[in-house]
Amino acid sequence: MKSCIEVDNVSKQYGKAKAVSEMSFTVLQGQISAFLGPNGAGKSTTMNMLSTLLPPTSGKILIEGYSMEKQQEQIKRQIGVVFQEDVLDNAFSVYENLYYRGSLYYERKQQVKKRIDEVVSLLSLEKLIHKRYGTCSGGQKRICQIGRALMSKPKLLLLDEPTIGLDPIARKQVWDALRKLNSLLNMTIFFSTHYIEETMNADHICMISQGHILVCGKKDWVLKEYRSRGSLTIQDIYIDLLSEDLRL
**pLDDT tens digits along 17-44:** 899 999 999 999 999 999 999 999 999 9
Beta carbons within 10 angstroms of residue 126's beta carbon: 9
Closest CA to 47 of 149, 133, 169, 139: 149
pLDDT tops 90 at residue 147: yes
Q: At what angle do helices 168-185 and 109-123 cross, to 10 degrees?
A: 120
Q: DSSP for 111-147, please give it.
A: HHHHHHHHHHHHHT-TTTTTSBGGGS-HHHHHHHHHH
- Nearest in space to 63 (alpha carbons), one of 156, 152, 150: 156
Among 137, 82, 126, 107, CA closest to 116: 126
The 10s digit of each residue's pLDDT in 97-133 is 999 999 999 989 999 999 999 999 999 999 999 999 9
Checking if the pLDDT of 228 tops 90, the result is no
Rounded mean pLDDT, 167-183: 94
pLDDT at 76: 94
Please give the pLDDT value at position 112: 96
Tell me how far apart the alpha carbons of residues 97 and 194 are, in angstroms, rounded to a whole number.
Answer: 29
- List residues bridging with 157 in a β-sheet: 80, 189
Mean pLDDT of the chain: 94
Report the predicted TM-score, pTM, of the whole model to 2 decimal places.
0.94
Give how far the C-alpha of residue 47 lies from the chain's centroid of Cα atoms, to the nearest Å: 7
How far apart CA 101 and CA 219 sit, in angstroms, is 35
pLDDT at 248: 61
pLDDT band at residue 52 under the 50/70/90 scheme: very high
The candidate with the shortest Cα–Cα distance to 84, out of 172, 192, 190, 205, is 192
Interval 219-241 mean pLDDT:
88
Residue 195's pLDDT band (cuts 50, 70, 90): very high
Residue 16: per-residue pLDDT: 86
At 54 the three-state DSSP class reads coil
Cross-strand pairs, 205: 34, 217
